[in-house]
Chain A
Amino acid sequence: MKRIIVLMLVVLLLLPSLANAQDDDRITIRFWHIWGNVTWLPEVVEPAFEAAFPQYDLELRVLDGYRNAYDLYTLAQEQGDPPELLQGTSSNTQAPRDSGFFKPLHEAIAGRTEINGIPVRLDEIVGPAAIFYQLDGEYYELPWNASTPIVFGNMDLLVEAGVAEDVNDFAAIPSTWAEVHEVCAVIVDKFDDVDCINFGAGGWYFENALAMQGAFMANNENGRGGGCVTEVLFNSQEAVDYLAWHKSLEEAGYWVDYGRAEYNITWADSKLALHMTSSAAARGRVEIGEGNGFTVGADRMPYNQDVDYVGNTVGGGMILLTDGLEPEVEEGALTFLMFLMEPENIANWHKSTGYIPVTQSGFDYLEAEGWFDENPTFAVATNQLMASARAPQTAGAIFGSFAQVYQMYREVFQNILRNDADIQGALDRLKAEADLLIEEYNLLVPCEEM
């Protein structure tokens, strides 16, 4: 009896290695991403890709946030075993490019029009996303999860306050700075326990506010005009105007700051009328509304009505391809990237999250389905970006210490909003500190190497 048990244990121990032996001829493509809440990837994309390309074994690993992902990736690089694909973020574009860890996508594609039989659709990337993701007309990474800030509205609250005529009256959601004040005055007057608007005091609302007013974030045309960024332009009049508007909302009690994740509870409880956040939150906002019996509407990010509107900028992420892979592994990784760009996948990705469809074919696929007519909330982001000028202002700034500077302005903005800080003075200080960081970065990674 003992022998049989021992034998069974040995067989059990050997089984996994036997199973592995069977898989040995498959090429493993590891993709580290942060979309833990999107089940579509492991449930639909992974089996579909592996069915279409049985020679590849796709391994998805979910990481907690961009910061964590890049950190673990750096570690993996240091240990000599990085994954083939990594999801990166827009505020951290230059640093990975300078790291030498990644191969520029255009170099890997090398002018081919199809990879493993799947068409290369980079020339189909829609305008606003194209200027954001390109540098010198080339794609260094795969554009993928692109979004833009929009305002979600609890339509039932807006109707109850008399701001909207009915729950489909999305136009009642304020779309200028002045309208936000007007609507909030009504909301706060009408309800005792409802907050009017919430949005982060962080980076990309500020970036968008500058782009909408046609201002640059950094010199050398946001680092896209031929030279590298050597200074930021955070202390411009446009920046002061935006923060003054934000502060006026705070002082009037219209803008309320919440802690992490708290806005979800407030939103679900119908205690918040307007929530400005990433369009990628569309699926989540709408589902919370459906679950709690209220209609969710959306409209563009409010702009400064006193200045001509220029355009919004894209935020989000991209997929980076590790450099130094074996040719057949690199081919597999590229195949997966191109597979993600297939119209059906672009469309489903958009539906599961709210990220904009980055390719024209993906957009057309959704249009043909009548998706945007049935789900107008999901159309706002794309419309906003399509209405934006293709200009360096709306392409966003690109410099190596961006992520660090991003942290810094969160601190400074909170200080401006909460304390009676002199806005111009605070921004002058912020600019000086940010310039030092840029100078330090450029010292380590000289400009001509970028």
Chain B
Amino acid sequence: MMAVLFTILASALGALIVGAILKRRGKGLMGGMALGAVAGLLGSLATMVPLQYCVLEPENHMFFELSVLGQTVTVNAVALLGILLVFVVTWSFALAIDRLRHQWQARSTTVWKADTAPGTFVGYDFSPWIFLAPTLVGLAVFTYYPAAQNFFLGTQLARRGVANTAFNCLDNFASLITSRLQDAHYYILSDGFIWHAENARYLAVFGNSVFFSVFIVLVANVLGLAIALLASQKIRGASVYRTLMIWPYAISGVVVGIVFAILLGGGGSGFLNQVLRLFGAEPLPFLSDPWWARASVVAAAAWNKLGFNVLIYIAALQSVPMELMEAASIDGANAWKRFLNVTIPMISPYIFFVVFLNLNYSFFDLYAVIDNLTEGGPVNATTNLVVDVIRVGVESRDIGKAAAQSIVLFMVVVGLTYMQFRVMGRRVTYGAD
């Protein structure tokens, strides 16, 4: 009964929202409402049938506290996630149906002229599918099936090495918000906080990932570009310097972690602290203080990536046409202005490329560095999303929760990639065209 009500409600809400949006855009209200209703119906069925309408069950115990403008409410995290999920899937269905409708309309109004449309198959032909089949089969078996399996696993109570599994709704996801206990508390514009969270373990881990990504990208790129500028000077033995600077790139994360652990070790042993002591200074808690430890990870990772960035930036700088620089000089631009207004725009595709790769690295590939440098500590200060997935899934063998975490990671990466192409793609200058 609840399930039927829920489906009807989703359809009605879909109809109202999509109808209103399309009407504002000057399209027909009825068409929009029909589209919304169908999307709502499909969206709720596509999410709730596999989930067996579990988000509606009242015995769910995953709650968190939310304070907005001083008002505190207790939120059922599972229900909240369920509604969000239905919303997102419905939205995707609406977009997809709308696009299909447009294509269908375009198709029915276009007169196909096979001889004037190069690159299109005449009529409906199966041959493209045959050519694509090997790749598609490979993708299906090795990428899509495991990915789908991962989504399934995210809804299971499952342990590595235990044959039994049990369906547990969206609890694995909800536990990321509630910290598994009912005492995670989020504040928005209340209790003197603009934004604050208490006992929100996963949010802190998420924050670490963001912190590492921002600072590693920043440090590795600013330093990389600066070194590339220096290394591009025409001096004797430049190629030797360049090779030496690029060399850290060839070192694996494990070795980087160990080398920095020896360099930065706390207590009496770290090389840097030994040097500090020689000069009569107090040793610094490079690895045992949360902020120092985070900075140490950034330093190690940025150092590791620096060589690669320098390499790309040296190539980028060599691609900047001398005529442009000369023209700018004649127009009275000083070195800084030439750098800012000529060099940077000219190398922006390279910057985009490097930032994208660095960002991917800081999100996905930091495990070896962190594991060997800080082991995610102290007190999780350097535990990022990937370290946590491995800790939960491999060390704790709790593969259901690890699957849920990896889906979050997947969504973050999809979002990041999308944003990067949208935001940065517009500002990047690819040559003359």
The interface residues of chain B lying within 8 Å CB-to-CB of A418 are 288, 290, 378-379
**A274-311 with Cβ < 8 A to chain B:** none
| Closest beta carbon of chain B to A193's beta carbon, Å | 5
Q: Is the CB of B166 within 8 A of A258?
A: no
Distance A100 CA – B162 CA, assembled complex (angstroms)? 8
Instruction: Give the distance in Å from the alpha carbon of A447 to the alpha carbon of B372 in the complex.
Output: 38
- Tell me if A414 and B379 are in contact (CB < 8 A): yes
Residues of A within 8 A of B23 (CB): none
Q: Return A252 CB to nearest CB of chain B, in Å.
A: 15
- Distance in angstroms between the alpha carbons of A419 and B379 in the assembled complex: 9
| In the complex, chain A residues 312-351 whose Cβ is within 8 Å of any chain B Cβ | none
**Proximity bits, B387-423, A CB within 8 Å = 1, else 0:** 0000100111110000000000000000000000000
Q: How far is the CB of A449 from chain B (nearest CB, A)?
A: 9
Question: How far, in Å, is B185 (CB) from chain A's closest CB?
Answer: 13
Q: Are B268 and A194 in contact (CB under 8 A)?
A: yes
Residues of B within 8 A of A401 (CB): 396
Give the interface segment out of A135-143, A206-214, A263-271. Answer: A263-271
Contact of A195 with B267 in the complex, beta carbons under 8 Å = yes
Q: Taking A195-B267, A259-B374, A411-B379 as contacts, is the C-beta distance between A444 and B166 under 8 angstroms?
A: yes
> Closest chain B residue to A195 by CB distance?
B267
Stretch with Cβ within 8 A of A (4 or more), from B153-161, B241-249, B332-340: B153-161
In angstroms, Cα B287 to Cα A400, docked, is: 33
A320 to chain B, nearest CB (A): 12
User: Chain B contacts of A1 at CB under 8 A?
Assistant: none
Minimum CB distance partner of B268 in chain A: A271
Q: Is the CB of A193 within 8 A of B375?
A: no
Known: A74-B161, A99-B162, A193-B277. A262 touches B379 (CB 8 A): no
Identity of the chain B residue whose Cβ is nearest the Cβ of A261 in the assembled complex: B261
Q: For the complex, is B164 an interface residue (Cβ under 8 Å from A)?
A: yes
A414 close to B378 (CB less than 8 A): yes
Q: Is the CB of B397 within 8 A of A429?
A: no
A-B contact list, 11 entries, CB within 8 Å:
A194-B268, A256-B266, A259-B287, A259-B288, A260-B372, A265-B262, A266-B268, A271-B269, A403-B395, A414-B377, A444-B164
Residue on B nearest A258 in the bound complex, by CB: B267
**Residue B226, interface by CB 8 Å:** no
* Residues in A whose Cβ lies below 8 Å from that of B106: none
Residue contact B395 to A407, C-beta cutoff 8 Å: yes
Decide yes or no whether A433 CB sits under 8 A from chain B: yes
B159 A444 Cβ-Cβ under 8 A = yes
Write the A434-446 contact mask toward B (1 if CB under 8 angstroms, else 0). 0011001101110
Distance in Å: Cβ of B397 to nearest Cβ of chain A: 7
Closest to B383 in A: A411
Asked whether A271 and B267 contact (CB < 8 A) given A262-B261, A411-B379, A414-B377, the answer is: yes
Query: Once the chains are docked, how many angstroms separate the CA of A99 from the CA of B161?
Result: 5
Q: Is there contact, CB below 8 Å, between B265 and A262? A: yes
Size category of the B interface is: 35 or more
Q: B374's closest neighbor in chain A, by CB? A: A259
A407 touches B391 (CB 8 A): yes
Q: A99-B161, A429-B181, A433-B180 are in contact. Are A67 and B265 (CB under 8 A)?
A: no
Q: Indicate which residue in A404, A436, A444 contacts B162 across the interface (CB closer than 8 Å).
A: A444
A257 contacts chain B at the CB level, 8 A cutoff: yes
Contact partners of A193 in chain B: CB under 8 A: 268, 277
Chain B residues in 8 Å Cβ range of A98:
161-162
Q: How far is the CB of B383 from chain A (nearest CB, A)?
A: 9
Are the C-beta atoms of A441 and B160 separated by less than 8 Å? no
Q: Which residues of B contact A (CB under 8 A)?
A: 157-166, 180-181, 183, 199, 258, 261-262, 265-270, 277, 287-288, 290, 372-375, 377-380, 391, 394-398
Tell which of B183, B290, B378, B379 has the most Cβ of chain A within 10 Å.
B379
Interchain CB contact under 8 A, B375 and A259: yes
- Name the residue on B nearest A260 (C-beta): B375
**Interface contact A266-B269, CB-CB below 8 Å:** yes
Contact A443-B166, Cβ < 8 Å, known A74-B161, A96-B161, A411-B380: yes
Q: Which residues of A contact B270 (CB under 8 A)?
A: 262
B159 to A441, Cβ gap below 8 A? yes
Distance, CA A95 to CA B158, complexed state (A): 13
- Which B residues touch A99, using CB under 8 A? 161-163
B372 near A257: Cβ-Cβ < 8 Å: no
CA distance A247 to B375 in the complex (A): 21
Whole-angstrom CA separation of A414 from B287 in the bound complex = 13
Q: Name the residue among A74, A404, A429 with the largest chain B CB count within 10 angstroms.
A: A404
The reply to whether the CB of A432 lies closer than 8 angstroms to some CB of chain B is yes
Nearest Cβ distance between residue B375 and chain A, in whole angstroms? 6
How distant is A323 from chain B, measured CB to nearest CB, in Å?
13
User: How close is B275's CB to chain A, nearest CB, in angstroms?
Assistant: 13
Q: Mark A401-413, 1 if CB is under 8 A from B, else 0.
A: 1011001000100
**B283 and chain A: residue at smallest CB distance:** A193
B180–A257 touching, CB < 8 Å: no
B-chain residues with CB within 8 Å of residue A71 when the two chains form the complex: 160, 394
B261 close to A272 (CB less than 8 A): no
Of all chain A residues, the one with the shortest Cβ separation from B288 is A257
A262 and B162 contact, Cβ closer than 8 Å, known pairs A193-B277, A411-B380, A433-B181: no
A235 within 8 A of B: no
A415 at the interface (CB under 8 A from B): yes
Point out the residues of chain B lying under 8 angstroms from A49, CB to CB.
none
Which chain B residues lie closer than 8 Å to A414 at the CB level?
Answer: 377-380
Q: Is the CB of A258 within 8 A of B266?
A: yes
Q: Which residues of the other chain, B, contact A433 by a CB distance below 8 angstroms?
A: 180-181
Cα A437 to Cα B171 with chains together (Å): 13
Interface centre among B161, B162, B374 (most CB of A within 10 A): B161
